[in-house]
Amino acid sequence: MPGGVNSSTRLNSALDIPVYASGAVGGRVRGIDGREFIDMCCAHGAALLGHAHPAVEEAMRKAAAIGFVHSFETEYHEELARKVCENIPCAERVRFCSSGSEATLHMIRTCRAYTGRSKIIRFEGHFHGYHELIYIGGHPPEGYRTKAGEKPFIESPGIPPAFADYIVPVPFNDVGAFDDAVERYGDDTALVILEPVNFNCAGILPDPGYLEHLREVTKNRGIILFFDEIQSSFKKSIGGAQACFGVMPDVCTIGKSLGGGLPLSAFCGKAEIMDTLKPVGSVQHSGTFNSHIVPVLAGLAFFEEAEKPGFYMRLREIEHRFHEGLDTIIHDLGLSMIAPHHGARFNILLGRDTPALRYDETFCHDVTLMRKIIAACWERGVYFHDYGGGPLHHGYSIQHSDEDIDMVIGVLGDVLKKFRDDLM
């Protein structure tokens, strides 16, 4: 395995090692050295139910009892599809796949086929998967600006430059820049894609009225509005960010938490768009392991838990306990940092006292200092993933106890005090 990992970001640069685990229960993980730590990564948001949740364990037993049947449809697939369409506002049809990158790839293809157009308007700081169709223009380095006639920043070697011809990156929360892009490229644009909560850069929230403006403009120009809710789905409500903000896109992707910690994502939306997929329409979406019975049953287990009256009440209690504690530390120590949050996921942004509104306002963040903070927390028994030290997302699960949260706050208090002079 190159670098000892099967996902490049699993090498935690703050620790200079990938963390090898031997087991996990609730909100805690045990390393191969027998050391236990509190998990504030939670599988990058996939483990909203926590580790070894009894409902997911029961789903695994059920899958074994029916023979791990796959590459067939079952009544459970139909039941899970119904749950998605009942809870996600824009979902009239749904298709399942394994990863978020798969979901955005197939949804982009579907949008292009439906509109007969090719260009994509996207937002700086947002992330939509690692494939060639969209891993362009999301996180350009500081000082990089796409000028008229130049290609946007390509985020990995190996992506042919020609793919960049179809990407139009604009700053988030900038109505003028968005309108200019639509005016210039609207007739060739198939979709506008965004994270309604920008968890992949400082937790930036949309300005009041901004999503509504995107909705109005895209509707008037025949452009598909695409909410990528792989991360934001289920973190604050069962209907995702589109339910929280009251703005309905044409299509969306959901994932992470959907599979109860197992690999399951989905793309969904209006029937007329989704019905362009074979065998109803002509767009191809197939795969041997699409909606394998194991994650499908785990997905049903997730919905069973999320629909319980106390589920989101408990998540709100944890959210309040954690952020009240962290905000108190920041205030009492007089630190220049914030921790924006939306439900069970939050970001840490250093060097600001107020929320960022767009990607270029996050360059104040000190990645070296962030790595030091993460390493110091690790030494004290709390794991934060590093994401290169960037202002990305962290979180907790429904199984994190008050004691877990209090320990994390205690550790953060000690660590932030240690680095106080660097955070003033």
Quick one: how many helices (H) and strands (E) in the chain? 11, 18
Please say whether the beta carbons of 395 and 344 come within 8 A. Answer: yes
Q: Which two tokens stand for residue 421?
A: 């002079």
Sheet holding 28-31, edge to edge: 21-25, 28-31, 36-39, 382-383
Q: Which two tokens stand for residue 100?
A: 């978020």
Question: What is the structure's pLDDT at 378?
Answer: 98
In three-state secondary structure terms, 193 is: strand
Residue-wise pLDDT tens for the chain (424 aa)?
Answer: 998 989 998 999 999 999 999 999 999 999 999 999 999 999 999 999 999 999 999 999 999 999 988 789 999 999 999 999 999 999 999 999 999 999 999 999 999 999 999 999 999 999 999 999 999 999 999 878 655 557 899 999 999 999 999 999 999 999 999 999 999 999 999 999 999 999 999 999 999 999 999 999 999 999 999 999 999 999 999 999 999 999 999 999 999 999 999 999 999 999 999 999 999 999 999 999 999 999 999 999 999 999 999 999 999 999 999 999 999 999 999 999 999 999 999 999 999 999 999 999 999 999 999 999 999 999 999 999 999 999 999 999 999 999 999 999 999 999 999 999 999 8
Question: What is the structure's pLDDT at 69?
Answer: 82
Question: What is the structure's pLDDT at 220?
Answer: 98
* Domain ranges, ordered by start, for the chain: 55-306
CA-based torsion, 250, 195, 139, 204: positive or negative: positive
Question: What is the structure's pLDDT at 70?
Answer: 79
Question: What is the structure's pLDDT at 144?
Answer: 80
**Peptide bond before residue 140 is cis, with ω within 30 degrees of 0:** no
CATH architecture of the domain with residue range 55-306: 3-Layer(aba) Sandwich (3.40)
Neighbours of 285 (CB within 10 A): 18
Query: Whole-angstrom Cα distance, residue 83 to residue 235?
Result: 17
Query: Whole-angstrom Cα distance, residue 99 to residue 255?
Result: 7
Q: CB under 8 Å to 15, separation ≥6 — which residues?
A: 374, 375, 378, 386
Query: Whole-angstrom Cα distance, residue 11 to residue 17?
Result: 5
Question: What is the structure's pLDDT at 88?
Answer: 98
Full-model pTM: 0.97
